[in-house]
Amino acid sequence: MNPPLTEELRAHLVDMWVRVTNEGGSVGFVPPVTGDDIRPTADRSFDRVRQGSDVLICLVAPDREKNRESVRNGAGFPSTESAQNDIPVVPGTDSDNRLSTGLSGPLTGERVVAWLLLAESESLLRRHWRTVYRVQVDPEWQGLGLGTSLMAAAAAYAKEALGLEALTLMTRSGTGAERFYKRCGYREVGRIPGAIRVGPNDDRDELHFWLDL
């Protein structure tokens, strides 16, 4: 999904980013943060989406209670491949994002509950893969398998719509995220010891992951 980056959506994504960070998520900051802390970085990321270099992948849940009840009953989150589910498959509608199509739908009355970005390299020698970053699921929707669905949607979009051969991502050690990415098919291809300083006397390794598509 590469939806129109309206002011309403931008504000919603920043709010989610704040809440994810303050819950301990590894999305570029350490808690506590406010919207004022996040917004400058978010604006730069969103500008790259509007310019067409990066792609915003979202999961939208139009009917919160219906989807939550479906998961409780063992049905899982709706498949992104079904035209009958609550995440419709239609072209993206942002005139500033003409190069991208994917999972989309009118956002009025609906809520983005998980999102990530696919960043294009500035190097022409690295255009056969992209970097996954800012992976996050709304804390109110944790535990429903949305993270796995989001990563699967991103991989499918990268391969089928963008024609990519691989995805890469980075995360910091000590959060458990590496186990999640391995479950999604990524393999660790390197680490830089102590590269990320999240606080005094608290240095974390920078972990690099790769997924062949």
CATH level 3 topology of 7-164: Aminopeptidase (3.40.630)
User: What is the pLDDT confidence band of residue 49, given thresholds at 50, 70 and 90?
Assistant: very high
Confidence of residue 61 (pLDDT cuts 50, 70, 90): confident
DSSP character for 124?
G
Domain boundaries, the chain: 7-164
Q: Tell me what pLDDT residue 65 has.
A: 53
Question: Which amino acid makes up residue 16?
Answer: M
Quote the CA–CA distance of 8 and 188 in Å, as a whole number: 36
Residue 58's DSSP bridge partners are: 115
CB 62 within 8 A of CB 109: yes
Q: What is the pLDDT of residue 3?
A: 75
The residue that leads in pLDDT, 142 or 80, is 142
Phi/psi-derived region of residue 191, left when phi > 0, alpha when psi is between -120 and 50, beta in every other case: beta
Q: Give tens-digit pLDDT for 87-140.
A: 322 222 232 332 222 333 334 457 899 999 999 999 999 999 999 999 999 999
Among 6-15, 73-82, 170-179, which is the least confidently predicted range?
Answer: 73-82
pLDDT of residue 102: 32
Provide mean pLDDT across the span 197-208: 97
CA pair distance 163, 156, nearest whole angstrom: 10
Mean pLDDT across 173-202:
97
Contact 209, 203 (CB under 8 A): no
Antiparallel, parallel or unpaired: β 166-172 and 129-137: parallel
- Computed from CA positions of residues 140, 145, 151, 152, in that sequence, does the dihedral angle turn out positive or negative? negative
At position 131, the amino acid (one-letter code) is T
Single pTM value for the model: 0.80
What is the percent of the chain where pLDDT is above 70? 77
